[in-house]
Structure 1
């Protein structure tokens, strides 16, 4: 038998897997200032001699060594962070200090630096490619930042936007405070009537006859008291959601006729929306499953975005989907058991949850509800008083939601198609495929009363509002289909069809939004949100054009029109953020316009003074870190800056309402009430470069 080989390297170098000088103390330990701890497992090494027996390190020595190393690492981390701050590196990028100067460590550091540079370039590319969506989400108060470090890092600071505004009733988590928010029975009845008559067609999340019966019981048996025995707080959440929707979406004149002035309208609408969450939490809705919670959350979407609760509403919707699936609302097929009314209510709620989930795909690039596992029939096309099926050309309370559900079902299929492709060519094929599908759906399957037919006096009062809402929403969905190639279309002529299509859709949205502002209908969040999206696309188009093109005055006039319309909105966080964002883009346009941009190009063909999207997003977010103010009173801010438009070009720009695009036909050929068909016509025709 041979004697075991003695270990000459010290324990620290062995543990770090670095070369040891095999002296006492070794070179590495001397460099680290750990001469006293240098040694082998037997704690004894002689210079160029055989080892001799010795005692091993005690537990106390090991703990002392670890404590010292932790202190040193913390000190060096602070020093490295300070150095990186001076070198303009990210303070969130914290690495352990370099321990050895061996070739292996040097190569590793070089690899990490290269990986960091690649990650930074990838992040910037992602921001540029998704510029329109990122800017649109800023107006919603939501962030779509590919850089996740500011999400997972514990160093990110959290600032309470309302910490300096003391309010004894700001906390709506107590039922005693919530009780104070319930108005008189007559006011509640007015709000419910308005919602059922003028808003329910838009979302269809509850059944009017059943809800009215439940409301009567709430007053007769419980006297409107939340603490009354037997009261269902999840139903109370639905009541608050209905009231919040009515007060938020009602025009100013309508709200004043109920006795609510601007300040009270702004306060109560937010408090009522917050009361929905309070009631659901007190009812423990995630354990005590009820369809009321699904109805309350689905109904709340109509007010959530306008009030600035988009992020929290998306979380509540995810919870509502799980509750609905637990209740079996996704399996209400032809053989489902239960009463006709119960099944119809479940199908309507599920239809709305599906639409909201699928329309939210651009935010998260994913969806919760898989259409393959949803076997529920769509909501019945019928009136509430008898539930008798009617022909599709007869307008009913479910007509709009049913058709919007068909449009929404395109989005998950598009997302699946894009994720299954590996090249831009095949991905763009998917875009063109589902673009054609949406056009076919809008032309062939759209109900006749949602077209530009003359209005029938027997039709409901919401038909004109539904027509404009459908034109705006459908145009926006066209943009969403082309979203992944929109930014590329400004610099790559291979995607010229996307640029033409999105510009036409944007003009349709703004055109319809102008008509909406002239009517006395409900204020829907899609009006303002999608108008902001349209103005963003036109702004990006301006920023990617040469200064001598004739389209700039027209598009600039459209953007400024949206700013003016949004400034007149009240109690809308979308309008507040949208004005700030569009004014910032207009400032960028003015800044680039003052430079000698002309037709100068880089070697790769891009403009010499290209719009820096990542830098703009960063500066905008930093500049709007203060709490947003509500537009509950006429703005006292200075008017936005003016931009140079020649008189001849301004006259041409004002003709955008007639869609006079020099196509060789009179503007009167395009019906102002049929905006989406105008979009289909314009996008399907070869404009021979007149747009680009």
Structure 2
């Protein structure tokens, strides 16, 4: 009796270990599994012993075989062979209707009947796994080159080897990726460029077998063509027109859809969305990418990027790759996940909501390390660099800290609740805003010296680091402005919120606009105009004088900013448009 009670009946042998099944967490389905190894329970990792009862399963198989034989009889005539079910099956094993060639052999009824039964069995297993453990089928996907969606005939392989990229030559692609690695990879920091460049070399003769990799390839080319200087693009023989950037962008998005990225989850697809993000917003594709970002977050969660676990001295390295490759891949996954976290949390001021909660992931912040394998991996470990050493990760790691403050501020505001008409409730919210203001400014003070303009020295740093320092300053000013968003209007009417005016004006009006010695003449005119607007706003709200003249304020501001080259040819027009001054008014 006791043995009967201790043995559970099941229609199949369990794949997950007993520890993971009890705790309802994802299992790698190996003994010992990676989850038990991480928890130090590898000695107790085992599968549950069950009594397999497959009577119902055999009945289902017989019923499926009977249906398959009926389909075979219906497909015996030419008219029935071209029926929609047969076409749908054939489409799944090609690159789509547009990629079909005369060399493709039609799917015979016999092969259809033979392959249909295990396909439906697998679907049943996947359905059960989905209900109990989540999207395990995504994690168990093999190499995408072996996927039926990427199956091609030998004739197609030969053609792809010579024409898989009609937009740029191989030599141009090498130059562009090298330029991207040196000057632009810090912007997204989700691609390990040395590895990607090696992948390009391996795909030159055979062509890419994964459409998602091709989408990432075009995304990197597009980002470089958009951000690089025209002279640098011309040196590489690349077009500088906006239409070429749009063409590359469209090609990347098209490759994503051809890869069926919403159903076939790969890291390449997530990286593509991350890389294209800034270009997409500048091409007026913000609505599309707000949805793609949400899709990238869900794809990343199905790939397990949110549950990589803390960094440890020893890791379980899967078979087929070296330890160095595993560590590099882990760092890339960490960077990709935190890119999505950062983007999700930094948009909180615009939507007052977020998708990712801090309790929903345990992936640590990426290491500050170099990217070349010789300096990145030593003695089987990732070599950590101090924050004062500039690496490709330095910029994103500092922005991560600011994003965490934005998220905490939102959580504190929600915990305080809606103030309604209570002034005490409003002041509680303002206290949280003052806390966030202080925290963001403290994060900027703690940034390495090469990210602060007053402490920046050009010795030993890449040329673009000087621009990054300006970006950090402007970004910090922007974040300070956004956390005060709830009190911008009140600060004009109520002196209790006057700190909002002081903080925002000090950050935006002075720190971000004044350091403009290297700006062009037209940019300085815009800076002078903004200075005038800030000065007038401040005078209108806080001036103790009962009477003052706008002309005097504008003249004083223009004299302060009169050290730029060129004349103020646009001065009268700006004065007439923004200040109501006559066109013949003298700015001097």
TM > 0.5 fold call: yes
Q: CA deviation at 1:268?
A: 1.0
In structure 2, what is the Cα distance between the partners aligned to 1:536 and 1:210?
50
Other-structure match for 1:418: 413
Q: Which of the numbers 371, 374, 377 marks the counterpart of 1:384?
A: 371
Determine if the alignment matches structure 1 residue 231 to structure 2 residue 227.
no
What CA deviation, in whole Å up to 9, does each residue of 1:651-681 have, x standing for no partner?
A: xxxxxxxxxxxxxxxxxxxxxxxxxxxxxxx
| Rounded Cα–Cα distance in structure 1 between residues aligned with 2:203 and 2:584 | 57
Which residue of 305, 314, 317 corresponds with 2:281?
Answer: 305
Q: SS at 2:191's partner residue?
A: coil
CA distance in 2, matches of 1:358, 1:584: 40
8 Å CA contact 1:471–1:512 kept in 2: the answer is no
Decide whether aligned partners of structure 1 residues 514 and 306 sit closer, same or farther in structure 2, where only a CA change above 3 A counts: farther
Instruction: Verify the 8 A CA contact 2:306 2:337 in the aligned structure 1.
Output: yes
What SS does structure 2 have at the residue aligned with 1:435?
helix
The one of 428, 431, 443 equivalent to 1:429 is 431
Mapped contact 1:539–1:559 kept (Cα < 8 A): no
Kept after mapping to 2: 8 A contact 1:181/1:272: no
- Distance (Å, rounded) in 2 between the aligned partners of 1:644 and 1:487: 32
Label 1:514 to 1:412 Cα distance change in 2 as closer, same or farther (>3 A): farther
How far has the Cα of 1:371 moved from its partner? 1.8
- Counterpart contact for 2:532–2:554, Cα < 8 Å: no
Structure-to-structure mapping, 1:258-273, within 5 angstroms: 258-262=236-240, 265-273=241-249
How far did 1:512 drift? Answer: 4.6
Confirm whether residue 465 of structure 1 aligns to residue 460 of structure 2. Answer: no
Shift of 1:457: 3.5
Instruction: Please report how far the alpha carbon of residue 436 of structure 1 lies from its aligned counterpart in structure 2 after TM superposition.
Output: 0.7
Partners of 1:330 and 1:376 within 8 A in 2: yes
1:214 to 170, 191, 199: 199
1:285 aligns with 2:261: yes
Aligned with 2:368: secondary structure?
A: coil
- C-alpha distance in 1, partners of 2:492/2:563? 23
Could you tell me which runs of 5 or more consecutive residues in structure 1 were left unpaired when the two chains were aligned: 1-174, 223-229, 519-526, 565-578, 595-641, 648-692
Structure 1 pair 552/355, CA: closer, same or farther in 2 (3 Å)?
A: farther
1:159-238 → structure 2 map (5 Å cutoff): 182-222=167-207, 231-238=209-216
Q: Please state if 1:404 is matched with 2:389.
A: no
Matching of residue 541 in structure 1 with residue 519 in structure 2? no
Q: How does 1:290-689 map to 2 (within 5 A)?
A: 290-334=266-310, 338=317, 339-385=326-372, 386-387=375-376, 388-421=383-416, 422=419, 423-443=425-445, 445-451=446-452, 452-453=454-455, 455=457, 457-507=459-509, 508-512=511-515, 515=518, 538=534, 541=537, 548=549, 551-553=553-555, 589-591=578-580, 644=585, 646-647=587-588
Question: What is the alpha-carbon root mean square deviation over aligned residues?
Answer: 3.8
Cα 1:361–1:542 change in 2 (3 A) is same
Q: Secondary structure at the match of 1:409?
A: helix
Query: How far apart are the structure 2 equivalents of 1:497 and 1:310?
Result: 33
Per-residue Cα deviation, 1:2-24 (whole angstroms, up to 9, x for no partner): xxxxxxxxxxxxxxxxxxxxxxx
Distance 1:195 1:254 in 2: 12
- Rg larger in structure: 1
Q: Deviations over 1:604-663 (max 9, x none)?
A: xxxxxxxxxxxxxxxxxxxxxxxxxxxxxxxxxxxxxx695642xxxxxxxxxxxxxxxx
User: Does the 8 A contact of 2:218 with 2:252 survive in 1?
Assistant: yes
Q: Residue 196 of structure 2 aligns to a residue in which SS?
A: helix
CA deviation after TM superposition for structure 1 residue 559, in Å: 12
Residues 48-63 of structure 1 aligned to structure 2 (within 5 Å) = none
C-alpha distance 376-268 of structure 1, shift in aligned 2 (>3 A): same
Say if 2:231 is the partner of 1:253.
Answer: yes
1:220 counterpart SS class = coil
Question: Deviation at 1:433?
Answer: 0.7
**Using the alignment, how far apart are the partners of 1:414 and 1:245 within structure 2?**
32
Change (3 A) 1:218 1:286: same
Check the 8 A contact 1:490/1:541 in 2, yes or no: no
Q: Quick one: structure 1 residues 266 and 559, their matched pair in 2 at CA, closer, same or farther if it must change by over 3 Å?
A: farther
CA pair 409-454 structure 1, distance change in 2 beyond 3 A: closer
Query: Number of matched residues?
Result: 387
What is the CA–CA distance in structure 2 between the aligned matches of 1:268 and 1:441, rounded to whole Å? Answer: 39
Q: How has the CA–CA distance of structure 1 residues 509 and 305 changed in structure 2, closer, same or farther, with 3 Å as cutoff? A: farther
Shift of 1:198: 0.6
Give the SS at the match of 1:511: coil
Q: Which has the higher contact order (CA 8 A, sep 6+)?
A: 1
CA contact (8 A) 1:181 1:271 kept: no
Cα distance, 1:509 vs structure 2 = 2.3
